Amino acid sequence: MCIFCQIINNEIPSYKVYEDNQTLAFLDIKPVNPGHTLVVPKKHYENLEAIPAEELGALIFTVKKVGALIKDKLSAPGYNITENNDPIAGQLIAHLHFHIIPRHDGDGLKLWSQHNQKTVEAEEILKKLTS
């Protein structure tokens, strides 16, 4: 059983921020910033493609609710939401989860670098995705 399933089943203690019938939100034990919260479905799904649409809707509703709590209660002017989908993308626990990371001026957190896309490259990618 994965560590998040153990948290959901109260086999491992956690700092629960929010809970309903389908979802659980708890503080990350290795936060990027104070208040960094994980939101998980209570049923085990390995990644984003595995979860049914109805349950994903409930999960995103909880992400929205917890994001609002973070802004209101922690006075965070904003937050980042991330979901690392599969190990190649940095997913360490094979249980779907969203990170909500509070943001403050000068917190030092950097986003990924970007580059200009060539028109030819964009057209090739578009053709693959839409064919």
Tell me which residues are annotated as active site.
97
Q: Report d(CA 89, CA 100) in Å as an integer.
A: 17
* C-alpha separations of 80 from 26, 43, 47, 76, 77 in Å: 16, 24, 19, 11, 11
Q: What CA–CA distance (Å, rounded) separates 85 from 50?
A: 11
